[in-house]
Structure 1
Amino acid sequence: MFEMMTGMINNIFFIIFPIVLYQMLAGAGKRNFFVDYRVTMTILFSISIILCMVFPYQILTDDYIFDLRQVPLIVGALYGGPVISAVLFLVSAIGRILIGGDGMYIAVLNLFVVAAGVPFLRPAYMRMSRGKKVATVFIISILSLLFNMFAGHLLFGDPIHDIINIWLMLMLNQGMMIVLTALLIEHIVRQELLLNTLMKHEKLESVSHFAAAVSHELRNPMQSIKGFIQLMQAYDYSRDKQLEFHETILDEINSAESLIDDYLIYAKPVYGELDRMSVNDEVCGVLKLLGPYANSLGVELFCHPAESEIYIRGDRQKFRQAMVNIIRNGVESMPEGGEMIARIKVQASKVIVEIADQGVGMTKEEVERLGEPYFSNKIKGTGLGMMVTYSVIHQMKGIIIVNSEKGLGTVFKLVFPRLE
């Protein structure tokens, strides 16, 4: 009994292992089990068949040695198609011939019938519901074993009533195993389908956010330009007034171009030239530049540079823009005033810029969404500023760590590789 259980467990492991390995290694969004990794899965299923035959087990009597080689053969034929079925048949047939013994010819004939007939069911099988697929593989398994039973009766004269109990156990054993295998495969296929659908949905959602943000931001300058052009068409303004309108129109066009440039920063993997720059100078320079704006809102800015000069590689203009976005957001998050402190630190080969405010703070969910298109904590915000900030920092091979709590302020930690 112990040997039977050991052999059965071994066979089950030989069958399940390739399927689990597929789930671990398959690329995201793969929907066609077996087909997407045809060669690899054929090799793995061939090994499963060989191992099942090498480690068989007995049921009820020592006269019948049994294994689960038909499970990977049937599954491979249904999910892989005729070519896979032919390869698996050759592997199983050669293995069975090498093992030899009584019933070899019946076994090879049975394998041939399964390998030749099952692939014709594949088109219909792939369109079935999960329940019908399970029923189909179970029926195929039972029919295959019935073929063996009646062939043995005809060739060896074994009375059906003497062997029916054994074959019923074999049918139940193999039937349950192939049903479990089919359910596992269908679960994997369903998970991959859901993942693929989710990936497409996220892409479409990202596109819709971009479209909404672009249309929202471009509408204002476009309406201004349209209004001034309509005024000049309707009224005969003086030359000086027309030049004033022209200047305003050009300002609105520049504003629209700046917006488009911001989106290009997010879309392009490289923007501008990456130069050696002093972190102390750049960070403290931005805080000095925004000092008057912060003071007008009752916010004091402080910069604590590193003790020695440290350098990183980046685009100065875009790095300043990223810093401006973070600092402005921090300043605007303190409606009652407060302090914002920037600290520059060095840890081994890394440079850390910490920017801490005393603002309203954010929830964990809001922190996780920072940098997403069209997400903003501001009433009229589009999330474009933080989206650009994240893109710029990532282009500089940096990372952004945000710690925040409602009512207790926010700390932005920017980590960059140090440039010697």
Structure 2
Amino acid sequence: MYNEGRSKKEMEMTYMEEMMTGMINNIFFIIFPIVVYQMFATAGQRNFFVSHRVTMTILFSISIILCMMFPYQFLTDQYIFDLRQVPMIVGALYGGPVVSGILFLVSSIGRIIIGGDGMYIAILNQFVIAAGVPFLRPLYMRINRLGKIALVFCISIASLLFNMFAGAFFFGDPLHDIIGIWVMLMLNQGTIIVLTALLIEHMQRQEYMYNAMLKHEKMETVSHFAAAVSHELRNPLQSIKGFIQLMHEYEYSREKQLEFHQTILEEIITAEDLIDDYLVYAKPTYGQLEPITVSPEVHHVLKIMAPYANGKDVVMQMIEMDEHARILVDRQKFQQALVNIIRNGIEAMPEGGTLAVSVKSSPAKVWIEVADEGVGMTKEEVKRLGEPYFSNKIKGTGLGMMVTYSIISQMNGEVLVDSEKGKGTEFTLEFPNIASVSK
């Protein structure tokens, strides 16, 4: 008796394990198209059936087929159940009539191939879902999350009630004998379809927030640009305005007028340069890209910057110079980017110091390194370098680094920054090495 009891208990445990395994498999088949879509769809364009109707229809069709291929017995040996209705209902609500029709054809063909008792009831039930649920789609899209949960749960319950009454009618099963099993089936499928809808709604909400954040960032960038342009242009314009007012109100000698004219011209050139810099950042335009040897260009920039460095008590040193390193760039824009970085390094040492410059290369890469002994930056400040209107300088707008990052990026280069507060900063410009190609 003990062995018989143990054997029966083991059989019950085995049956429960098989049922749970089958149920988990079906849940996985339902979730996998959503997860696959989330992994491979482009961020900012994940709108399920709206943006990727064909892809999602194929994935949900696979989900339906897998659920039908791997059903599970539910509570008794008489009921073999699967969760194909979940992707059918969800697909109809998010995809509309066309998607619903395709999913109906897939499930119907699969059910005909499987055959067996209840085939016609199942196909009729699937047809009711495919024909009726799309009419609820406009309502579903309008209501809030709680309303959506209630609606999908009610649709799921209604579809199973249809099966229950149809089975009782055609097969003569007394309702009082099967009501308990069908209630459990309703709770089982209803819970899973609610969780599926919640998952989709959560992903949709995350996508909406992502798009809203992108839009906000774009608006914030425009705002920063406007503030930077206003701030930078105001100074030369105010100078020009002041000199014109002086010449209008007072009589000055010809020599003094020429001096004013020269100052006005210089301020106009300053404003033009500022506008050119913004155009470079917003829409970079380059002359012809040409292979250049890096070392002569670096020597040229250092020669240009020497007077400025001397005035700040900064000594510029060449630590290492690979004379054979070559890169493909616009010569003028490359020099402009390098000037911006060296100027920043000099200005980071208000008490003077040493600015070390080196050029290194490997068969694949060329590195131009500029290291200062200045005030340095925190990790957060390093991350924000190149952002509009971010600068460590009191009167800076960050325009120089914005332009530098834009120039280097557009010429297939990369800006690497290593900095520590109070110990200095090292900028590294990394470019593909074309020395082997030029040979």
Question: Shorter-normalised TM-score: what interval?
Answer: over 0.9
1:291 paired residue number? 306
Post-superposition CA distance 1:237-276 (Å, at most 9, x none): 4544444333222221111111111111112243223223
Indicate the SS of the match to 1:35: coil
1:373 paired residue number? 388
Instruction: State how far apart, in whole Å, the 1-side matches of 2:116 and 2:417 are.
Output: 70
2:11 paired residue number? none
Matches for 1:107-256 after TM superposition, within 5 Å: 107-256=122-271
Quick check: 375-384 or 21-30, which moved more?
21-30
| CA positional deviation for 1:119 | 0.8
Post-superposition CA distance 1:143-167 (Å, at most 9, x none): 1101111111122221111101211
Matches for 1:333-348 after TM superposition, within 5 Å: 333-348=348-363
Contact kept? 2:313, 2:353, Cα under 8 Å:
yes
Going from structure 1 to structure 2, the CA distance change for 1:140 and 1:307 (only over 3 Å counts) comes to closer
Matches for 1:327-366 after TM superposition, within 5 Å: 327-366=342-381
Quick check: 230-239 or 376-385, which moved more?
230-239
| CA positional deviation for 1:360 | 0.8
Quick check: 23-32 or 176-185, which moved more?
23-32
1:306 paired residue number? 321
2:35 paired residue number? 20
Instruction: State how far apart, in whole Å, the 2-side matches of 1:319 and 1:304 are.
Output: 20
Instruction: State how far apart, in whole Å, the 1-side matches of 2:146 and 2:326 are.
Output: 63
Contact kept? 1:30, 1:193, Cα under 8 Å:
no
| CA positional deviation for 1:278 | 2.3
Q: How many pairs are equivalent?
A: 420
Instruction: State how far apart, in whole Å, the 2-side matches of 1:362 and 1:380 are.
Output: 17
Length-normalised TM-score, structure 1:
0.96
2:99 paired residue number? 84
1:55 is aligned, of 67, 70, 86, to: 70
Going from structure 1 to structure 2, the CA distance change for 1:275 and 1:233 (only over 3 Å counts) comes to same
1:75 paired residue number? 90
Contact kept? 2:334, 2:407, Cα under 8 Å:
yes
Contact kept? 2:325, 2:360, Cα under 8 Å:
no
Contact kept? 1:4, 1:58, Cα under 8 Å:
yes
Contact kept? 1:221, 1:253, Cα under 8 Å:
yes
Contact kept? 1:270, 1:395, Cα under 8 Å:
no
2:335 paired residue number? 320
1:33 paired residue number? 48
Matches for 1:386-405 after TM superposition, within 5 Å: 386-405=401-420
User: Match for 1:406: what amino acid?
Assistant: K
Contact kept? 2:284, 2:407, Cα under 8 Å:
no
Quick check: 372-381 or 315-324, which moved more?
315-324
User: Match for 1:103: what amino acid?
Assistant: G
Residues 1:411 and 2:426 are matched in the alignment? yes
User: Match for 2:74: what amino acid?
Assistant: I
| CA positional deviation for 1:31 | 5.2
Instruction: State how far apart, in whole Å, the 1-side matches of 2:400 and 2:368 are.
Output: 19
Contact kept? 2:294, 2:323, Cα under 8 Å:
no
Indicate the SS of the match to 1:62: coil
Contact kept? 1:325, 1:389, Cα under 8 Å:
yes
Instruction: State how far apart, in whole Å, the 1-side matches of 2:365 and 2:107 are.
Output: 58
Quick check: 161-170 or 299-308, which moved more?
299-308
Quick check: 347-356 or 300-309, which moved more?
300-309
User: Match for 1:393: what amino acid?
Assistant: I
Instruction: State how far apart, in whole Å, the 1-side matches of 2:251 and 2:424 are.
Output: 55
Indicate the SS of the match to 2:51: helix
Instruction: State how far apart, in whole Å, the 1-side matches of 2:279 and 2:70 are.
Output: 61
Quick check: 27-36 or 199-208, which moved more?
27-36
Instruction: State how far apart, in whole Å, the 1-side matches of 2:134 and 2:205 are.
Output: 22
Indicate the SS of the match to 2:52: helix
Going from structure 1 to structure 2, the CA distance change for 1:125 and 1:377 (only over 3 Å counts) comes to same
Indicate the SS of the match to 1:290: helix
Unaligned runs of 5+ in 2: 1-14
- Report the RMSD for the aligned CA atoms in angstroms: 1.6
Post-superposition CA distance 1:15-57 (Å, at most 9, x none): 1110101111122223532221101111111111111112111
| CA positional deviation for 1:307 | 4.6
Contact kept? 1:356, 1:411, Cα under 8 Å:
yes
Length-normalised TM-score, structure 2:
0.92
Unaligned runs of 5+ in 1: none
